[in-house]
Amino acid sequence: MKHNLSIIGLFLLCLVANPGFAQRKLSDGDKHISALTREYVYPTRIIWKEGDVQKSENLMKSGNGQANLTNDNIVILKNGESGTSSILLDFGKELNGALEIVTGMWGGGNVARNVRIRLGESVSEAMSNIGDKGATNDHAMRDFDMKLPWLGKNQTGESGFRFARIDFLDPKAELHLREVRAISTYRDIPYLGTFKSSDERLNKIWEVGAYTVHLNMQDYLWDGIKRDRLVWVGDLHPEVATVNTVFGYNEVVPKSLDLARESTPLGSWMCGISTYSMWWVVLHYDWYMAHGNLEYLKEQQPYLQGLVKQILGKVVNGKEQMDGTRFLDWPSSEDSLAVHAGLQAMTILALEKASEISKFLNDPATKKLCDDAIVQMRKVKPKHNNSKQAASLMALVGLMDKDKAYHDVLKVGGAKNFSTFYGYYMLEAMAKAGKYTEAMDIISEYWGAMLDLGATSFWEDFNMEWLPNASRIDELVPAGKVDIHGDFGAYCYVGHRHSLAHGWASGPTSWLSEHVLGVKVAEAGGKAYTVRPHLGNLTYVEGTFPTKYGVIRVKHTKNANGKIVSEIDAPKEIKIIR
């Protein structure tokens, strides 16, 4: 007791001598302040319940997150000697975050209650057990037991989910729930870019692509919010295109690019994949074109110089011979001919962008290394093996005629053999061939099919062959139907392990803004933009595009003669090229 009193006395002495002692603030160097916002989201519907669940409709009422002594608006889950009472909630949209449960006062004393929580990106995932159809706790816990206090609250860890199942585990007992709400964690930033056209389906696809990337703008720019929650550099490329299109500058991009550089010493490849180090080069070119921060670009110069030499060390007589994981995307990964063709094109693309960056940095020696290698590499024209991934990259860098790439490969089967990641580059290759209407049809068919199945964010992978007799992700799988989430997938995304909020699938958002709205950066630092719309079958399109000087506002209307009439309002610092 004397020891405890001496500690208290010492504290009081310090407080008298220094009134700020008890309220000492952390120095700036000690602070770790999140850039993320927490928003409470309440259930929009109850999908399913089992056992004795009373007054479940109360869970859809917005509350204040506070337990109270009146025990009002209580939902009661009651168990007998056997069985459990359970409920499945829908929060209306995919989100990154946690579940918070506020409890009431049950009888029998203030004894904690035991529940099982299952989070899911689909209803079928939320209803699954670990191991069922690939269901997992990899990267984020989504199936676990937890204790709930009497007259209090508790929170889960974070995952990516839309649906939550709660099972009350204690026999011969009651559980009183006052609130069950999701804590959605995100960057509270405005959508500066917008897109609206005469086709509501395209409008929705643009919005969902933007939202998918927004979900993944967490501490870093992740690939997915359930799995993997990591910085995969190749995945960043379509994601950053969407960031530039929708949000403009955001610190999550350079923060993620720097993480990749700092964690990958020269001599190795980012994420173990040669193309991912190449995407890092392309990303820095794109970022500088949009935002023009020369000091930041100079910080990359030593690493870039070394990386260029590393890439060139894997080119022999103009032919790529990359080591590490040889990868474009998963659907093409078993086609060695396509992977080689894609790597040949990807190496040229990276060296072209490195050459441009070297010009910005006044580094003629590195520029010459790149330019000389490109000349030799263009003499090698590998077989694309009818791969849409390979043909797209080859067309984009001029290794293959753009029209031949479209007619011989990209056109074949329409949306068949499109992929969520490289679908962006397939659309880009179609645009290069002037096939804007056809590309919009693919967007509507392929990405739109995910919306038809209940998606509120775009998926890690999708195959048109999955569609026949498929169930929606927002319903219990009806008898005789195919489980679109649990029954498909391959490679690292089998069944429920499949991510349904994957940033690399956002390509249509930036594509529609660049090619349909027609706004594209034309000069380093965002000092000039081209505005060249391609409406296809649309009667109008309007929207905004963020720049470092403010937003460009555009509206294009097709008149009775089919001519496009444009209205353009841009910041005075920006040159508009028609």
Each domain of the chain, given as residue ranges in start order, spans 194-455
Closest alpha carbon to 235 in 38, 503, 418, 455? 503
pLDDT beyond 60 at 18: no
| Tokens found for residue 192 | 């500066």
| pLDDT at residue 109, rounded to an integer | 81
CA–CA gap between residue 541 and residue 535 (Å, rounded): 7
Report the DSSP beta bridge partners of residue 90: 45, 163
User: Measured between alpha carbons, how far is 271 from 390 in angstroms, rounded to an integer?
Assistant: 21
What is the average pLDDT across 558-577? 96
- Residues 6 or more apart whose Cβ sits within 8 Å of residue 405: 384, 391, 392, 394, 395, 429, 433
Q: What CATH class is the domain 194-455?
A: mainly alpha
User: How high is the pLDDT of residue 29?
Assistant: 63
- Cβ(154)–Cβ(100) below 8 Å: yes
Residue 9's pLDDT is what? 45
User: pLDDT value at position 352?
Assistant: 98
What's the pLDDT at 32?
84
For 131-147, what is the mean pLDDT?
97
**The pLDDT of residue 386 is above 90:** yes
Q: Rounded to whole angstroms, how far apart are CA atoms 393 and 398?
A: 9
Q: What is the pLDDT of residue 273?
A: 98
426 touches 392 (CB < 8 A): yes
pLDDT at 13: 41
pLDDT(473) > 80: yes
User: Among residues of the chain, what percentage have pLDDT more than 90?
Assistant: 93
Output phi, psi for 423, to 5 deg.
-55, -30
Residue 15: pLDDT band (50, 70, 90) is: very low
Q: Stretch 339-366: mean pLDDT, rounded?
A: 98
Contact by Cβ (8 Å): 401, 431: no
Stretch 207-215: mean pLDDT: 98
Look up the pTM and report it. Answer: 0.94
Note whether 178 and 67 are within 8 A (CB).
yes
Distance from C-alpha of 449 to C-alpha of 331, rounded to nearest angstrom: 18
The pLDDT assigned to 14 comes to 43
Confirm if 422 and 335 have CB atoms less than 8 A apart.
no
Q: How confident is the model at residue 472 (pLDDT cuts 50, 70, 90)?
A: very high
| Residue 501 near residue 160, CB atoms below 8 Å | yes
pLDDT at 350: 98
Mean pLDDT of 343-355: 98
Q: Give the pLDDT score at 125.
A: 98
Is the pLDDT reported for residue 6 higher than 90? no
Q: What value does the mean pLDDT take over residues 387-399?
A: 98
> Mean pLDDT, to the nearest integer, of 198-203?
98
Q: Which two tokens stand for residue 518?
A: 């027609």
Q: What is the band of 200 on the pLDDT scale with cuts at 50, 70, 90?
A: very high
State the Cα–Cα distance between residues 273 and 278, nearest whole angstrom: 9
- Give the 3-state secondary structure percentages of the chain, helix then strand then coil, rounded to 5: 40, 25, 40
Contact 361, 284 (CB under 8 A): no
Asked whether 178 and 103 are in contact (CB, 8 A), the reply is yes
| pLDDT for residue 259 | 98
Task: Inform me whether the pLDDT recorded for 370 exceeds 50.
Answer: yes
371 and 390 Cβ atoms separated by less than 8 Å: no
Cα gap 469→275, rounded to integer Å = 37
User: What tokens were used for 568?
Assistant: 């353009």
**Tokens standing for 211?**
């939202």
Q: What is the mean pLDDT of residues 207-213?
A: 98
**Per-chain mean pLDDT for the chain:** 95
- Residue 110 has what pLDDT? 87
Residue-wise over 231-250: b if at least 16 C-beta within 10 A, else e? Answer: bbbbbbbbbbbbbbbbbbbb
Q: What is the pLDDT of residues 220-274, one digit of tens each?
A: 999 999 999 999 999 999 999 999 999 999 999 999 999 999 999 999 999 999 9
pLDDT digits (tens, 9 = 90+) for 93-102: 999 999 999 9
The residues, ordered by sequence, that sit 6+ positions from 33 with a Cβ below 8 Å of its Cβ are none
